[in-house]
């Protein structure tokens, strides 16, 4: 189960209002932004602008430029992401996962999904 | 770790260190080594303190700063994070960004990652003002400087003073002002460093000779006119 669908499942099973659902998503997305960024970049390379738009589209949470760009730069410095210019566009850097990033992603995703499944198993009862 | 020992000879001018969490302005005209002075101070500070530092650059790229540092023999410490706004400014050029808010978020993101972030710099306040909404600018500056003090970080703000900049209250609000500049005399052109103000610290008032030497910057004796 992907993180996006897991978050969706959590929301679908509640009878909360729209604002409350947004609040729950926001509380989920912000502390887990690193892994959500990795999970989106695993699908296709993106620049910071596209990433912020994609997170908004999926989770209805608008992360600040001042949050996303430092995370991208730190992950690049740590060898988790690689940044490349696309052909014909030397102004915009597109980020993708390195092999180390794939491994980091796999481990973090596994831990998070396990933790969420554990949490949901009690909430469903 | 003391700030006044971060550049060789700076302790000639700054006799005691400013209190922790001070907000310091480094002012001067174009090409007076403001950025190099701040980067040298931060790098050395981190070398001795072991913590992390964040230098945010609104105009020059990280690569350009690193090149400049290398060209005058300043080592960029691995815990010194130089964040440049280039990518953000290119990708969001169609939108007007609230750079005060963005800069706060950048600082918060680094503070979240590096709990031992001790020192922060902005290069430059002029660019921050230019890229920010003009309405409530003085209020934004007041709030921003107050928040920096509340975060408990030593903050260094670079202000280019060519063209009469620096009348937005930052000089009054800051705890210290270090001015760098050039003096032309019959002996030639000399760079100088002068402490104009430093709350909670003892300092000399004279302009002191600032030189680039192998291995970085050095503050020499006073320049008498």
Question: Are B56 and B85 a contacting pair, CB within 8 Å?
Answer: yes
Give the burial class of B150: count Cβ atoms within 10 A of its Cβ; 0-12 exposed, 13-18 middle, 19 or more buried.
exposed
Average pLDDT estimate for B168-194: 90
Chain A residues within an 8 Å CB radius of B105: 64-67
Give the pLDDT confidence of A71-95 residue by residue, as tens digits: 999 999 999 999 998 777 788 999 9
- Distance separating alpha carbons of residues B117 and B119, to the nearest angstrom: 6
| Residue B76 resides in a domain | yes
pLDDT tier for residue A7 given thresholds of 50, 70 and 90:
very low
Domain extent for B62: 21-179
Q: Is residue B94 part of a domain?
A: yes
Tens digit of each residue's pLDDT (9 = 90 or more) over B148-164: 999 989 999 999 998 66
Highest mean pLDDT among A121-125, B104-108, B221-225: B104-108
CATH number of residue B50's parent domain:
3.40.50.300
Give the nearest partner residue to B109 out of A47, A48, A66, using CB atoms: A66
pLDDT of residue A19: 80
Kindly provide the ipTM of the predicted complex, given to two decimals: 0.90
In chain A, residues with a C-beta closer than 8 Å to the C-beta of B113 are 70, 74
Neighbours of B30 (CB within 10 A): 9
| Mean pLDDT confidence for B1-6 | 83
- Percent of chain B at pLDDT above 70? 97
The CATH number of whichever domain residue A18 belongs to comes to: 1.10.10.10
Question: Between residues A72 and B169, which one has the greater pLDDT?
Answer: A72
pLDDT value of position A46? 97
- Domain count of the fold of chain B: 1
CB < 8 Å from A in window 79-98 of B: 81, 83, 87-88, 90-92, 97
Q: Is the pLDDT score of B170 beyond 70? A: yes
For residue B13, tell me if it sits in a domain: no
Q: Number of structural domains, chain A?
A: 1
Confidence band for B188, pLDDT divided at 50, 70 and 90: confident
Integer Cα distance of B187 and B196 in angstroms: 25
- Confidence band (pLDDT; 50, 70, 90) for A123? confident
Which residues from A are below 8 Å from B when comparing CB atoms? Answer: 47-49, 64-67, 69-71, 73-74, 91-93
**pLDDT of amino acid A6:** 46
Are β-strands B52-57 and B23-28 bridged in parallel, bridged antiparallel, or unpaired?
A: unpaired
Mean pLDDT value across chain B: 92
Residue B202 lies in a domain: no
Question: Distance (Å) from the C-alpha of residue B107 to the closest C-alpha of chain A?
Answer: 8
Strand partners for B14:
B203
**Cα separations in angstroms, A68 against A29, A63, A73, B32, B93:** 12, 7, 9, 33, 16
Q: Which domain holds residue A82?
A: 3-124
Average pLDDT score over residue span A22-37: 89
């Amino acid at each position: 189960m992907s993180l996006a669908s897991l978050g969706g499942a959590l929301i679908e099973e509640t009878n909360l209002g729209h604002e409350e659902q947004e609040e729950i998503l926001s509380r989920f997305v912000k502390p887990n932004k690193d892994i959500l960024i990795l999970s989106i970049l695993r699908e296709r390379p993106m620049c910071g602008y596209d990433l912020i738009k994609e997170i908004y589209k999926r989770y209805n949470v608008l992360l600040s430029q001042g949050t996303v760009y430092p995370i991208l730069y730190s992950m690049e410095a740590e060898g988790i992401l690689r940044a490349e210019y696309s052909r014909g566009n030397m102004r915009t850097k597109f980020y993708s996962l390195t092999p180390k990033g794939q491994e980091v992603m796999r481990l973090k995703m596994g831990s998070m999904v396990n933790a969420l499944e554990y949490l949901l198993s009690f909430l469903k009862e | 770790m003391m700030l006044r020992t971060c550049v060789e000879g700076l302790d000639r001018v700054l006799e005691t260190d400013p209190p922790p969490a001070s907000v310091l302005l480094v002012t001067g005209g174009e090409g007076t080594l403001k950025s190099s002075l701040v980067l040298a101070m931060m790098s050395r500070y981190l070398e001795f303190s072991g913590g992390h530092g964040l230098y945010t650059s609104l105009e020059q790229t990280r690569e350009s700063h690193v090149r400049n540092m290398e060209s005058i023999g300043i080592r960029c410490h691995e815990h010194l994070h130089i964040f440049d706004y280039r990518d953000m400014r290119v990708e969001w050029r169609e939108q007007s960004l609230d750079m005060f808010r963005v800069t706060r978020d950048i600082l918060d993101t680094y503070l979240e990652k590096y709990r031992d972030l001790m020192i922060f710099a902005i290069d430059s306040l002029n660019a921050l003002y230019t890229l920010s909404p003009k309405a409530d600018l003085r209020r934004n500056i007041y709030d921003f400087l107050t928040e920096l003090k509340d975060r408990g970080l030593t903050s260094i703000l670079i202000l280019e003073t060519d063209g009469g900049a620096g009348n937005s209250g930052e000089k009054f609000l800051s705890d210290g002002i270090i001015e760098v500049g050039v003096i032309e005399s019959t002996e030639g052109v000399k760079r100088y460093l002068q402490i104009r103000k430093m709350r909670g610290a003892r300092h000399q008032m004279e302009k002191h000779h600032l030189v680039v030497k192998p291995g970085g910057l050095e503050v020499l004796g006073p320049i008498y006119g």
